[in-house]
């Protein structure tokens, strides 16, 4: 049976049943008040969404694709033995030595407009760094080193940068457009992100509008008006160089959406 693709611009959003953790309902109401009056740091700014749009998408239904069924990496292009199936999910690990260059595990399928969710847990040294990349087109990067890198958007799951901001939940396109960095509100991240524990990440990409949720709380809502912004590509997970780290991903689902055009 063919999957029914929901409209990208549909007004209805079904709440995520996994959101109903004991203390999150009250946190949602309180943090949404913060969102409506907060702005992001730097050159790029997010806009706060209306309350009815702040509900985390469920990423469920007949069109939803399960990217990890618990046993294999069949849906993924595996670059090396740094990636494998573990007891808790898909594991990306540097082992005991730092990598020479970053590495990505990419989906075999490309996606344009979609809703995506997963849970992740990262451990390692104080430079541990990862990200969820999307609409990726790999390209040959010629920066501080030469390697195949991700040109596309990122949900950053990295350590605080030199400016002491928490990169968690920020949006960027570091390898192709390094000037693009949109930080989520720091007060909200401090209350929602759980270091070295499972965190649920949900992304909604609808044309040039990009929305992020962490553990049921909306942390970022941004429109990228740059014509260089990617509109289709792979979804990828990263393990970084210059760190010893391990990251695990589970409950990985994506629901394609139909563009309004």
**Measured distance CA(115)–CA(250) in Å, rounded:** 16
Q: Which pLDDT tens digit goes with each residue over 184-205?
A: 988 999 999 998 899 999 999 9
**Measured distance CA(163)–CA(155) in Å, rounded:** 18
Average pLDDT over the chain reads 84
- Give pLDDT, residue 139: 86
What's the full length of the chain, in residues? 261
Contact predicate 135/171, CB 8 Å: no
Q: Domain map of the chain by residue range?
A: 20-258
Q: Which pLDDT tens digit goes with each residue over 89-143?
A: 999 999 999 999 999 999 999 999 999 999 999 999 989 999 999 999 998 888 7
* pLDDT class of 162 with cuts at 50, 70, 90: low
Q: Which pLDDT tens digit goes with each residue over 49-81?
A: 443 358 999 999 999 999 999 999 999 999 999
Region of residue 29 (left: phi > 0; alpha: psi -120 to 50; beta: else) = alpha
**CATH 2.60.120.560 is held by the domain 20-258:** yes
Buried b / exposed e over 96-132, threshold 16 CB at 10 Å, is eeebeebbbbbbeeebbbbbbbbbbbbebeeebbbbb
Provide the whole-model pTM.
Answer: 0.83
% pLDDT > 70, the chain? 79
Contact predicate 94/222, CB 8 Å: no
């Amino acid at each position: 049976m063919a999957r029914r693709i929901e409209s990208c611009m549909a007004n209805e959003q079904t709440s995520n049943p996994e959101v109903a953790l004991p203390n999150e309902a009250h946190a949602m109401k309180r943090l949404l008040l913060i969102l409506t009056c907060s702005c992001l740091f730097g050159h790029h700014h997010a806009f706060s969404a209306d309350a009815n749009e702040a509900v985390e998408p469920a990423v469920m239904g007949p069109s939803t694709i399960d990217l990890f069924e618990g046993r294999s990496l069949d849906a993924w292009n595996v670059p090396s033995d740094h990636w494998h199936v573990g007891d808790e999910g898909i594991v990306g690990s540097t082992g005991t030595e730092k990598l020479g260059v970053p590495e990505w595990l990419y989906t075999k399928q490309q996606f344009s407009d979609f809703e995506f969710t997963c849970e992740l847990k990262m451990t390692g040294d104080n430079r541990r760094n990862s990200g969820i990349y999307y609409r990726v087109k790999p390209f040959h990067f010629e920066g501080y080193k030469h390697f195949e890198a991700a040109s596309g958007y990122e949900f950053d799951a990295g350590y605080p940068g030199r400016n002491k901001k928490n990169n968690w939940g920020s949006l960027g396109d570091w390898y192709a457009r390094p000037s693009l960095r949109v930080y989520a509100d720091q007060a909200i991240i401090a209350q929602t992100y759980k270091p070295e524990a499972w965190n649920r990440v949900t992304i909604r990409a609808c044309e040039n509008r990009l929305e992020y949720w962490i553990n049921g709380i909306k942390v970022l809502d941004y429109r990228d008006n740059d014509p260089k912004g990617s509109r289709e590509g792979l979804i990828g997970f990263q393990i970084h160089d210059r760190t010893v780290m391990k990251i695990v991903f589970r409950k990985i689902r994506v629901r394609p959406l139909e563009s309004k055009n």
